[in-house]
Amino acid sequence: NAGVTQTPKFQVLKTGQSMTLQCAQDMNHEYMSWYRQDPGMGLRLIHYSVGAGITDQGEVPNGYNVSRSTTEDFPLRLLSAAPSQTSVYFCASSSQGARNTIYFGEGSWLTVV
């Protein structure tokens, strides 16, 4: 988990509220991504970025927005939280994608009530 920092670690939201999960890395990695982990389903890719100013959708992008204005930061925004977005969220980064080690943050536990 070296160098990938996620905040907050725990958050409870009410349905309809918006919030941003922060992700920062200090390794000058080009690639960053967000995953969600749900019981029995492993981790699924939400959005990813191959560099500043470039983002793309993953497997489950609906209800989430991202932007990559700097190399270091890759925030994930929930526009109008729904109970289905209750999950554990992981941010990841790497220097050459899968050609190098992919590091994960410690996770953010989000509950939407």
Partner 1 sequence: AQKVTQAQTEISVVEKEDVTLDCVYETRDTTYYLFWYKQPPSGELVFLIRRNSFDEQNEISGRYSWNFQKSTSSFNFTITASQVVDSAVYFCALSEEADKLIFGTGTRLQVFP
Between 14 and 62, name the residue whose CB sits nearer to partner 1. Answer: 62
Among 35, 52, 55, 110, binds partner 1 (CB under 8 A): 35
Between 17 and 102, name the residue whose CB sits nearer to partner 1. Answer: 102
> Does residue 104 interact with partner 1 by CB under 8 A?
yes
> Does residue 5 interact with partner 1 by CB under 8 A?
no
> Does residue 87 interact with partner 1 by CB under 8 A?
no
Cα–Cα distance measured from residue 107 to residue 54, given in angstroms and rounded to the nearest whole number: 23
Among 23, 66, 92, 110, binds partner 1 (CB under 8 A): 92
Between 56 and 80, name the residue whose CB sits nearer to partner 1. Answer: 56
For the beta sheet containing 76-78, the strands, ordered from the edge strand earlier in sequence to the opposite edge, are: 4-7, 19-25, 76-78, 64-66
The residues that touch partner 1, with contacts defined as CB under 8 A, are: 1, 31-33, 35, 40-45, 48, 50, 58, 88, 90, 92-94, 97-104, 106-107, 109
